[in-house]
Structure 1
Amino acid sequence: MLRQMCKGKLHRVRVTQADLNYVGSITLDPVLMRAARIRPYEMVQITNLENGVLWSTYAIPGDEGSGIVCLNGPPARHFQPGDRVIVLSLAWVDEAEWETFRAAVVLVDDDNRITSIVTTKPADDWQDDLGG
């Protein structure tokens, strides 16, 4: 059985730009992408904490160390500079991977600089009725 899991999360990053005339995607600082285990062109979910909009698109790297979080194309109508968002990277995990699977939650300051990374091993906090 496969389960869809949160592999990485950018928690409350600040949108720095919105570019309606770009073809699509979210541009992210590669420092943030690596910390949240997001690879170039990987699909991500973005939730806007200001208005509740949930959007799915792919991530592309911006300038290293820039703190950029730019919504491109249609989502630029729903995500504006200054908005706080959550970016989720998802993965399909099978039962064998479950035991060693780790998730990363990246916390940032007001300039999208990493303040901490919390990694968890969900299997350590779980016991099902089958004893495992």
Structure 2
Amino acid sequence: MQLNLLHSKIHRATVTDLSLHYEGSLAIDREFMDLVGLREFQKILVGNMANGERFETYAIAAPAGSKAISLNGATAHLGKRGDLVTIMAFAHFDAATEADAWQPKVLVLGDENQKIIKRPTV
């Protein structure tokens, strides 16, 4: 049996930009993506803590060190600059051999998208 478990999460990321006329996706600082093992074009689930919106899209890399979190395309209607979002990716794991030992990579951001907590070691 396969289980769909949390693979990685970026929690309390502050939306820094909106681009309605972009073709779509969520732009994320490449450094944040690398810290949690998130790949470009990977499907993600985003929860907006400010308004309760939840939506699926895919990740694209913003320049490393930019601290950018940009809602692009239709997702620009689902938040505003300054909103806090949680970005989640999931993966399939074999229940018998992988699931029990799996620990997701979690990055918790502080004010202005400063890295403050990484769990477990990433």
Please say whether Structure 1 and Structure 2 have the same fold, judged by a TM-score greater than 0.5: yes
Q: Percentage identity across aligned positions?
A: 30
Greater gyration radius: 1
Query: TM-score w.r.t. structure 2 length?
Result: 0.93
1:52 aligns with 2:52: yes
**Alignment match, 2:75:** 75
What is the deviation of 1:102? 2.1
What runs of 5+ residues in structure 2 fail to find an aligned partner? none
Number of positions where the alignment pairs a residue of Structure 1 with one of Structure 2? 120
Q: Distance in 2 between matches of 1:39 and 1:62?
A: 12
> Where does structure 1 differ by over 6 angstroms across 4 or more consecutive aligned residues?
none
Contact in 2 for aligned 1:41/1:60 (Cα 8 Å): yes
| Offset from partner CA, 1:26-77 (integer Å, 9 cap, x none) | 0000111112221000000000001100010000001110000001000101
1:4 aligns with 2:4: yes
User: Residues 9-28 of structure 1: matches in 2 within 5 Å?
Assistant: 9-28=9-28
- Structure of higher RCO (CA pairs closer than 8 Å, 6+ residues apart): 2
**TM-score, length basis structure 1:** 0.87
How is 1:1-132 mapped onto 2 (pairs within 5 angstroms)? 1-95=1-95, 96-119=97-120
1:11–1:108: 8 Å Cα contact kept in structure 2? Answer: yes
